[in-house]
Amino acid sequence: MSSARAKVIIKGRVQGVFYRQSTCTKSLEMEVTGWVRNMPNGYVEAVFEGCEQKIMDILEWCKRGPGSARVDEVIVSYEEPTGEFSTFKIK
């Protein structure tokens, strides 16, 4: 399977609702590497890397997030995979 990398900005009520922790848990379950962090403007930013289908699956999950989140918009930009990550972590 081909590798993919996606940089994502998630807008909505995504801070203070376990969005980062849930994203980390889900990414590890799906064997996707990268990171997630809160941004000062209230958004969440993430980078996902892994097989293309798993990236598509985690992006679909990001549109919902955990039950307490309200996702208004997910902005995705695709980049060349670098293989720089060995796991998924919260920054």
Q: Which of 5, 13, 38, 70 is catalytic?
A: 38
Instruction: Find all residues with CB under 8 Å of 75, minimum gap 6, and list them.
Output: 8, 9, 10, 11
Q: Which of 20, 37, 41, 64 is catalytic?
A: 20
Catalytic residue check, 38: yes
The side-by-side arrangement of strands in the sheet containing 33-38 is: 70-79, 3-13, 44-51, 33-38, 88-90
Catalytic residue check, 5: no
**The residue to which tokens 């930009």 are assigned:** 77
Question: Tokens representing 7?
Answer: 């940089």
The residues assigned a catalytic role are 20, 38
